[in-house]
């Protein structure tokens, strides 16, 4: 595991305070995109939108957007606060991009790395049409649904690069 010092990373709260200082009209919007299917899988899916000015928000022109998902009960914070944890993760990354990609990952994101992940089930064969379905996704919400399917099916590790590339193309 890579060595790093958590003290070198700012918290999402610190990042938000820094953004507010630089942009007094800052607006941060968290959108819960969780579907009934997601909840059936104990998953929360959220999007964070960062608007630097009130007019940007009025015109729906976010400076940055980011997505995150969390699974109920996976990790300490998710035992009681998976939705809130997803919102914080998405907001921290969106603020990072809105502020010019500064300061790298948030402390909260690095704490996840430090804790390590709960071992996942071994990967299973990716359905033959999955890559095609990812390529045909037209919205980030469609892509999030496919990602949740990959996670639930145990083949997320095998399609991570494919989904990430499509996300970049849609952003």
Q: Which residues contact 129 (CB under 8 A, 6 or more apart)?
A: none
Count of all residues that appear for the chain in the document: 171
Q: Where are the domains of the chain?
A: 1-119, 121-171
A 10 A CB-CB count for 31 gives: 15
Reported pTM: 0.60
Distance CA 146, CA 129 (A): 12
Distance CA 47, CA 141 (A): 9
Sheet holding 27-32, edge to edge: 27-32, 43-51, 64-71
The answer to whether 13 and 107 have CB atoms below 8 angstroms apart is: no
Specify the fold of 1-119. Answer: Enolase-like; domain 1 (3.30.390)
100 φψ region: left (φ > 0), alpha (ψ -120 to 50), beta (else): left
pLDDT in tens, the chain (171 residues): 456 666 667 788 888 999 999 999 999 999 999 999 989 888 999 999 999 999 999 999 999 999 988 888 877 677 788 899 889 989 988 998 898 865 566 666 666 666 554 444 455 677 888 888 888 988 888 888 888 888 777 776 677 788 888 888 887
């Amino acid at each position: 595991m890579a060595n790093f010092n958590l003290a070198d990373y700012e918290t999402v709260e610190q990042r938000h305070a820094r953004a507010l200082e630089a942009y007094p009209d800052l607006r941060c919007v968290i959108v819960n995109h969780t579907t009934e299917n997601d909840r059936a899988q104990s998953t929360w899916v959220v999007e964070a939108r960062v608007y630097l000015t009130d007019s940007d928000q009025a015109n729906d022109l976010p400076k940055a957007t980011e997505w995150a998902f969390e699974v109920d009960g996976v990790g300490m914070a998710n035992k009681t606060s998976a939705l809130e944890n997803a919102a914080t993760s998405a907001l921290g990354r969106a603020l990072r991009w809105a502020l010019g990609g500064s300061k790298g990952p948030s402390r909260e994101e690095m704490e996840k790395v430090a804790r390590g992940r709960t071992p996942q089930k071994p990967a299973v064969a990716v359905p033959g049409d999955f890559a095609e379905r990812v390529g045909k996704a037209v919205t980030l919400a469609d892509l999030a649904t496919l990602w949740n399917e990959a996670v639930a099916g145990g083949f997320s590790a095998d399609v991570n690069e494919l989904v990430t590339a499509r996300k970049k193309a849609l952003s």
